[in-house]
Amino acid sequence: MAAPAITKPQTAPAVQSLTLGKALNLGLRAAMESDPKVIVMGEDVGKLGGVFRITDGLQKDFGEHRVLDTPLAESGIIGTAVGLAVRGFRPVCEIQFDGFVFPGFDQIVSQVAKLHARTQGRVKVPMVIRIPFGGGIGAVEHHSESPESYFAHTAGLKVVTCSNAVDAYWMIQQAIRCDDPVLFFEPKRYYHSAAMKAEIDTAATPDPLFASRVVRTGTTATLVAYGPSVKVALDAATAAEEDGHALEVIDLRTLSPLDLGPVFESVRRTGRLVVVSESPSESSIGSEIAARVQQECFYSLEAPVLRVHGFDVPYPPAKLEEHFLPDLDRVLDAVDRALAW
């Protein structure tokens, strides 16, 4: 049976103002247009366009043979994608919500992460696993998790997260082109936020995928964040100006491998570091950052590295999540404590 014809949209303008969600949609579309081996698969990604509409219109334009609606079985989704990847395809799996990734956890850590090493480099697994993560949407249990530390701990996986529309557009394409398996975490609360819209030049040269970036310069203290916490850190830096403080903000972007060079350089200038993340603090990425900054910048530190995280409890009911998530007041309090040391 012949594959259905592909109806390609008209060429998009070079510069567009996009939400984070629309930027991901156009990034996926660009990747699919440039490489016929790119396949999108997941629960309701086709006719529905994904629960967050990130894959909206892709099945209509590229056909059911490239945008596959799968059964509700994350282990099956990941396992099927592994087979496709080793046969030369570049599957992009959507995990509908962060807490749904755990049924596929065994496939990810036992197969996806290890096939390249197990075959002594003869087999590559070029696949992307997209995971909407974090809180702030008033969802029920299993819909507002931060599981990134599990995967950053697993050798053989790359883990990245975007915090803005520009990075969303470019990073998803770079992740798809990567020959290693990539866990791609997306801050779901900002998918369709008008406040997060940004001008995207589709003809620009993007930053490297596995690199952190200084998004606001400062001299008083350093704030390090990733994903949805970057906006919180930037808001804190703006508020701190009223007290005469210039906070430097670094967006990690890559969680494995960690790119801490810009963090070390910043801390050596400011002498203080506050790490912001929605994940629980125990055995977290924030713990690793604190340990490595203490090791590399010991003689530059004027205060202990402080961390502002979600609490070490299961994610609370929606009516309590505002007390769980790091917010402006908690970040500014940590800055004040660092400065008072």
Q: Three-state SS for 149?
A: helix
Which residue is catalytic, options 143, 192, 309, 323?
A: 143
Long-range contacts of 151-155 (CB under 8 A, 24+ apart): 151/108, 151/109, 151/183, 151/256, 152/255, 152/256, 152/258, 152/285, 152/288, 154/108, 154/109, 154/113, 154/256, 155/113, 155/117
User: Which helix (H) or strand (E) is 39 found in, with range?
Assistant: strand 38-42
Task: Give CA–CA dist 316/250, Å, rounded.
Answer: 28
Active site residue 192: no
CA angle 95-110-114, nearest 5°?
105
Amino acid identity of residue 40, one-letter, is: V
Question: Residue 19, Cβ neighbours under 10 Å: how many?
Answer: 19
Instruction: Please give the DSSP secondary-structure letter assigned to residue 7.
Output: -
Task: Give CA–CA dist 81/119, Å, rounded.
Answer: 18
Where would I find the H helices in 12-65? Answer: 20-34, 58-62
Beta bridge partners of 262: none
Beta bridge partners of 94: 42, 130
Task: Give CA–CA dist 146/150, Å, rounded.
Answer: 9
Task: Name every residue whose Cβ is closer than 8 Å to that of residue 157 and which is 6 or more positions away in sequence.
Answer: 108, 109, 112, 113, 151, 180, 181, 182, 183, 256
What residues are annotated to the active site? Answer: 143
